[in-house]
């Protein structure tokens, strides 16, 4: 785009007196955060225009997504390396478009490796940049904050222990709580959720959440299914509900089921007890007795729903080796990190085998004290994180930017 066109576009923007707010989310959890934030922004700035990259929830709130969000959803060092060229090209194009658009504020939602570079480039061009969801500096590489300071005008964090880290580096920060806590019922209603999903109220039910990224789903679906089959053998009335994030994931899970059926590692009788849902993860967690979950936001969502869980995950060996060398916390599950103790069993890498997952899950099903210990800790975490997150985020954005001046 030439200079005359840029000047014309800027003049048109000024005459329209409308805000342009850019956002980039990199995965499903970021899409949920972004959608909640968009609702609050639209309430305060009803004529604002929203551009960038988002998922179906953000698009439903009126955002214009320039690229499919799935292109950013990559987990692990090795997995990113395989798609590095594609991600670099996309990021360069995005930065160029945003510099031309000159949004009144840019909000990068999670996806730190992608968004911090975008934020740094935009800040150098005079665009206010805010990062929503502070990276896990409390878990590894706190010194990243020195570089993060150069990229952002403020950071919105989800957990109450995080601001202290940012204060040490004089970075504007606001604790906004976790929006998931706002979405979860004060008293989860298992019977209502089961009725809504078509299950009997007294049916033993386990939720299986194999992840939101395809790298997680491809890695964990088979061991999860094999573990569930072993649990089914011991608990023949047990059914399993699997909320699936999108159609690509649905196809992958169905293919895994077909392969295990052909190799006779699972039976048709067991498959009849599997129920694949199109999304509806929160409803599945509300309906279940316990859950089997990969790491990430899903563990927190399960905890906020006050449902006992097991965490099990494998990543590429190179990714795990690098992460283990850099980690400064002994846990990867958010419920354990928030509690600062081991309350949720974590089966990582070599421990995340079907027999060990099944053994751990059966122990959770049978142990009333273990279930009560988890649920008591989860109740405390729910109360801590239940804040008016989107409203607090908008207040911080007003403080750090010129949104009201433009308005």
Average pLDDT rounded to a whole number, residues 51-66: 94
Q: What is the pLDDT of residues 365-405, one digit of tens each?
A: 999 999 999 999 999 999 999 999 999 999 999 999 988 87
pLDDT for position 260: 95
Q: What pLDDT shows up at residue 83?
A: 63
Consecutive H or E run containing 21: strand 20-25
- Cβ contacts of residue 293 below 8 Å, gap of 6+? 207, 209, 299, 302, 309, 310, 311, 312
H or E, element range at 242? strand 239-244
* Confidence band, pLDDT 50/70/90 cuts, at residue 15: very low
**Residue 237 burial (CB < 10 Å; 0-12/13-18/19+)?**
exposed
Topology at the third CATH level for domain 3-177+387-406: Rossmann fold (3.40.50)
Instruction: Give the integer Cα–Cα distance in Å for 331 and 324.
Output: 11
Backbone phi, then psi, for 106, in 5-degree steps? -115, 135
- Is this prediction's pTM over 0.75? no
pLDDT per position as a tens digit, 320-375: 665 665 565 677 788 998 888 899 999 988 888 999 999 999 999 999 999 999 99
Q: Which CATH architecture has domain 183-385?
A: 3-Layer(aba) Sandwich (3.40)
CATH 3.40.50.2000 location in the chain: 3-177+387-406, 183-385
């Amino acid at each position: 785009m030439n200079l005359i066109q840029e000047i014309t576009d800027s003049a048109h923007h000024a005459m329209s007196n409308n805000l342009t707010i850019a956002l980039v989310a990199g995965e499903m959890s970021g899409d949920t955060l972004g959608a909640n934030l968009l609702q609050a922004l639209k309430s305060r700035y009803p004529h604002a225009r929203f551009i960038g990259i988002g998922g179906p929830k953000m698009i439903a709130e009126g955002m214009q997504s320039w690229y499919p969000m799935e292109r950013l959803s990559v987990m692990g060092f090795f997995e990113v390396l395989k798609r590095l060229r594609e991600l670099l090209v996309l990021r360069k194009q995005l930065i160029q478009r945003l510099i031309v658009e000159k949004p009144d504020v840019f909000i990068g939602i999670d996806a730190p490796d992608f968004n911090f570079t975008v934020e740094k480039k935009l800040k150098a061009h005079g665009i206010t940049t805010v990062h929503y969801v502070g990276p896990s500096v409390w878990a590894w590489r706190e010194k990243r904050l020195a570089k993060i300071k150069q990229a952002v005008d403020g950071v919105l964090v989800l957990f109450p222990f995080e601001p202290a880290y940012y204060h040490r580096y004089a970075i504007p920060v606001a604790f906004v709580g976790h929006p998931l806590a706002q979405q979860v019922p004060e008293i989860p209603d298992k019977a209502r959720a089961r009725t809504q999903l078509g299950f009997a109220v007294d049916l033993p039910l386990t939720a299986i959440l194999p992840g939101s990224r395809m790298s997680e789903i491809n890695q964990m679906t088979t061991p999860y299914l094999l573990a569930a089959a072993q649990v089914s053998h011991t608990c023949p009335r047990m059914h399993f509900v699997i909320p699936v994030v999108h159609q690509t994931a649905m196809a992958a899970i169905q293919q895994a089921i077909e392969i295990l059926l052909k190799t006779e590692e699972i039976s048709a009788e067991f498959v009849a007890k599997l129920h694949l849902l199109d999304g509806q993860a929160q409803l599945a967690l509300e309906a279940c007795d316990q859950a089997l979950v990969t790491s990430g936001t899903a563990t927190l969502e399960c905890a906020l729903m006050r449902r006992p869980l097991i965490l099990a995950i494998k990543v590429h060996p190179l990714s795990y080796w690098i992460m283990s060398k850099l980690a400064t916390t002994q846990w990867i599950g958010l419920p354990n990190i928030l509690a600062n103790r081991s309350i949720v069993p974590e089966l990582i890498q070599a421990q995340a085998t079907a027999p060990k997952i099944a053994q751990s899950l059966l122990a959770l099903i049978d142990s009333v004290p273990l279930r009560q210990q988890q649920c008591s800790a989860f109740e405390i975490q729910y109360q801590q994180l239940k804040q008016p997150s989107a409203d607090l985020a908008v207040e911080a954005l007003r403080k750090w930017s010129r949104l009201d001046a433009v308005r």
